[in-house]
Chain A
Amino acid sequence: MAADTDATLSSGFRLLHAAASAQASRTDALFLAMLLLCGTVAIVLLVLVVWFSLRYRRGRQVDRTPPREMKGIEVAWTVTPLLIFFGVFGWAARDYVTMADPPADALPVSVVARQWMWKLQHRNGRREINELHVPLGEPVVVTMTSQDVIHSFFIPAFRLKQDVLPGRYTRLWFTATQLGEFPLFCSEYCGSEHSQMTGRVVVLSPSDYGRWLASGPSEPGMAQYGFALFRQLGCSGCHDPRSTIHAPLLEGLYGRTVHLQDGRSLVADANYLRDSILVPAKDVVAGFAPVMPSFAGQVSEEDLQALIAYIQSTHARDATP
């Protein structure tokens, strides 16, 4: 009955051995090294246990003089793993830092997760549900939030996964290195239909991707829509350069260091802009009165992303020549 709808992915996918991102090959290299290392240790221990068990089994005539203390060997089997562990830690940490640091020119995609669906939007306004189309060989950065519970965005073929939380943005970036379709899973348990919260990532050649992006229903670009919201919600009443109200200007704000009233400084990223719209009293800019009202409950997650996309776009216009 419901059986065929439950397994939403067709059997055409071949997950095993598919390594379709630049990160995937780095992860696989470490995985193989670890497999070799740990496999060797396991086999050596197994051989020793079996060999001792056979050689020293009860009733067998064999020299059983108690061995002398072996401090040297104890130190060796403590220090050697320690050194190896530092090496493995460093290797894995280096790759992890790379994962956390998307290139500045990465293609942005916005994701809103909800029970039990992925909603995605490209910068030109093109929307997708449970599918993500990306171009081959170009870095893509996915900025994600959830409307309800915690989800997790998992693309096994890219060896990447990132939890998607309500109330904040998390992100994940990749460069696809192989054309084709790859499964997308929700990997953080999120309720009844957790196992149906699946989809696929479609990697297209850059020209196919350009065609795909241009096709489909025409919608305003995210920044353009964000600008409309910026007027409509009255943000421009205070934040417009011509406004008489003393409010910070937002043009070119994204990515800049902001100095706050309480002495802290932070970089204006998506999470800062989000909090400033919903909880304006949290991070007040130095020199300004905390007069901004909260917009919590008035803007949807999609609208928030559009507003941030608009502020980000002014950053591009202001870039120093």
Chain B
Amino acid sequence: MTTDALPASYLEDGMSLRSWLTTTDHKRIAILYALSITAFFFVGGAAATIIRMELATPAGDLVSNDAYNKLFTAHGVIMVWLFLIPSIPSVLGNFLLPLMLGARDLAFPRLNLLSWYLYLAGGLITLEALLLGGVDTGWTFYTPYSTMFSNTYVVLTLVGVFVTGFSSILTGLNFIVTIHTLRAPAMGWFKLPLFAWAMYATSLILVLATPVLAITTLLVAAERLFQIGIFDPAYGGDPLLFQHLFWFYSHPAVYIMVLPAMGVVSEIIPCFARRPVFGYDTMAYAILAIASVGFLVWGHHMFVSGQSLAASMTFSLLSFLVAIPSAIKVFNWTATLYKGSIRFDAPMLYALGFVGLFTIGGLTGLFLASLSLDVHLTDTYFVVAHFHYIMVGGSVMAYFGGLHFWWPKATGRMYPEVWARIAAVLVFIGFNLTFFPQFILGVEGMPRRYHAYPPQFQVLNLFSSTGAGVLAIGYLMPLVYFAWSMGRGKAAGDNPFGAQGLEWQARSPPPTHNFDAPPVVPARVYDYQADEPLPEAAP
């Protein structure tokens, strides 16, 4: 469809390294993010691989206990702050938000580039702490261990997290202003794609919660460096104060990771089911409900910490309430399939995988919201399994689904569909093999963060370690075929999946200014019809 008369695509608009590093094009910045978070994903993944190898046998014989403690800390810090939080918002959000709104770029393109540099600086500082010898506090940095007892690179790591946080705040701010001001004239709020709604809610959390994390890291540094008593009772502090501050950020951070995933899935399922998303308005309100009630549940991480009975009761009840909008979303995705015309391309396989795994993650969350059950299950592998179902089974599945869905748009090339489907299935199987046994381990009482464990836990740990191998292969495959498709993949065309959404009205890959002609906002969002003629398409 592209002709030579049209301006070059964003990929060809300046080929020098300098043109990439000084770009203010949201699409190029998205690519910069994609490359950097992929690097961190594999560093964090390498740490996980060693952890799973260590845990294949009960004795702590592969690495020392201190090395093990640093590995799970590195895995958590990198995966949470350097991969998951920026993943969908900074890569897919950056690339797609202006396109979905019919805009030329984000509201503040230079601020957007600054976000990436801050992210990179924070990431490199964290990596530096790792190379110097690492940090052993766990990604949760609980006091007074982190302030007074750990002799590792706590402050340097916190500086990395602090700097990365500003990247989050600026991205959030940028998205909020963009969604308010740069929508195409005919695009009202209730014509926004659900992905844009999800970005909006996520951005609100980024802007409101991340400053609390920044404050908390400063307080930890103040106590650690200057013995100012804030958290350590030996200096007159209160260790639970840290947990309140930390989870005030870190629980909403879970929604920073999963709301964007819900947004991606809400784009993919209607497209491959050829049905408008079921209950669009409810879906949008559910996103807002999750984002707001999500701020009021942090104390459910502290049911055995010694917080008051009244606090625990309140947080438990609110945690059940926040599950309602999530449940509604799952029901609505399922109902979207009804009377559809369903095709199982790779993005759809990831999206359906997301629905299944997120459901299990959500349902097991109800066990943990139940006060008396949480007393037994908290700080065991049940919790580890639960949040991996949400954050890996949910967010990472959706991120991969999104990568496959919008890959043709971003590169103008198709990936080999068969390989992509094989990888999706491998990830699904490997994931369940890795993490389902951990639910049982938790019920049996195996505590988290154990370098060595009693022998009765070995069989389930072996399943888990084997699954991690399968999962690793599933994650490596896209790296290969995506790279291959850049040179050899067949040309994608502007809209290979027959998808709605303004981004598909741009060329593939889009020119730097996004649209050659003003995009046409359809009368209805997700205007798919099950009996319309099929788009010419991948197998």
Contacts and interface: CB of A to CB of B under 8 A. Distances in A.
Interface string A41-75: 11001101100110011100001111100100010
B272 to A, nearest CB: 9
B234 interface: yes
Most interface-central of B136, B306, B335, B378 (chain A CB within 10 A): B306
A161 B379 contact: yes
Contact of A11 (B136, B232, B282, B454): B454
B112 interface: no
Given A6-B60, A149-B144, A49 B352 contact: yes
Nearest to B331: A77
A156 B449 contact: no
A161 B451 contact: no
Contact of B371 (A38, A96, A192): A96
A95 B371 contact: yes
Given A27-B373, A38-B366, A92-B370, A82 B324 contact: yes
A254 interface: no
A163 B378 CA distance: 11
B124 interface: no
A131 interface: no
B452 A6 contact: yes
Contacts of A190: 145
B223 to A, nearest CB: 13
Interface string B87-103: 00000000000000000
Contacts of B227: none
B109 interface: no
A191 interface: yes
A162 interface: yes
Contacts of A159: 375-376
Contacts of B454: 7, 9, 11, 13, 15, 183, 198
B329 to A, nearest CB: 11
Contacts of A89: 316-317, 320, 369-371
A198 B446 CA distance: 12
Interface stretch (A164-172, A204-212, A215-223): A164-172
A189 interface: yes
B233 A64 contact: no
Contacts of A194: 65, 69, 449-451
Interface stretch (B43-51, B245-253, B353-361): B353-361
A149 B147 CA distance: 10
A15 B144 contact: no
Nearest to B378: A161
B20 interface: no
Interface string B356-387: 10011001101101111111101110000000
B182 interface: no
Interface string A1-19: 0111011010101111000
A97 interface: yes
Interface residues on B, range: 35 or more
A154 B534 CA distance: 59
Contacts, number: 263
A179 interface: no
B352 A53 contact: yes
A284 interface: no
A73 to B, nearest CB: 8
A232 interface: no
Contacts of A46: 356
A34 interface: yes
A92 B342 contact: no
B445 A15 contact: yes
A11 B304 CA distance: 28
B104 interface: no
Interface in B254-313: 273-275, 279, 282, 303-306, 309, 312-313
Contacts of B59: 3-4, 6-7
B69 A7 contact: no
Given A34-B373, A93-B313, A192-B65, A161 B304 contact: yes
A26 interface: yes
A152 interface: yes
Given A27-B373, A89-B316, A14 B324 contact: no
Nearest to A87: B320
A34 B334 contact: no
A148 interface: yes
Contacts of B60: 2-3, 6-7, 195
A29 to B, nearest CB: 10
Nearest to A166: B233
Nearest to B240: A165
A52 B140 CA distance: 42
A149 B144 CA distance: 6
Interface string A138-181: 00000000001110101011011111011110100000000000
Interface string B464-478: 000000000000000
Interface in B433-488: 443-445, 447-456
A195 B370 contact: no
Contacts of B335: 70
A85 B340 contact: no
B211 interface: no
Contacts of B341: 56-58, 64
B316 A93 contact: yes
Top 10 closest A-B pairs, CB basis? A167-B233, A156-B445, A92-B370, A95-B372, A96-B371, A6-B452, A52-B337, A3-B59, A195-B450, A85-B320
22 contacts: A2-B60, A3-B59, A6-B451, A11-B454, A34-B373, A45-B359, A52-B337, A56-B338, A57-B343, A58-B534, A67-B338, A78-B324, A86-B320, A162-B304, A183-B445, A187-B380, A189-B138, A193-B65, A194-B450, A194-B451, A195-B447, A195-B449
Given A58-B534, A162-B304, A166-B232, 17 more contacts: A7-B59, A9-B455, A45-B356, A46-B356, A53-B337, A56-B340, A57-B343, A85-B366, A88-B366, A93-B316, A95-B372, A96-B303, A96-B375, A162-B306, A189-B448, A194-B449, A196-B65
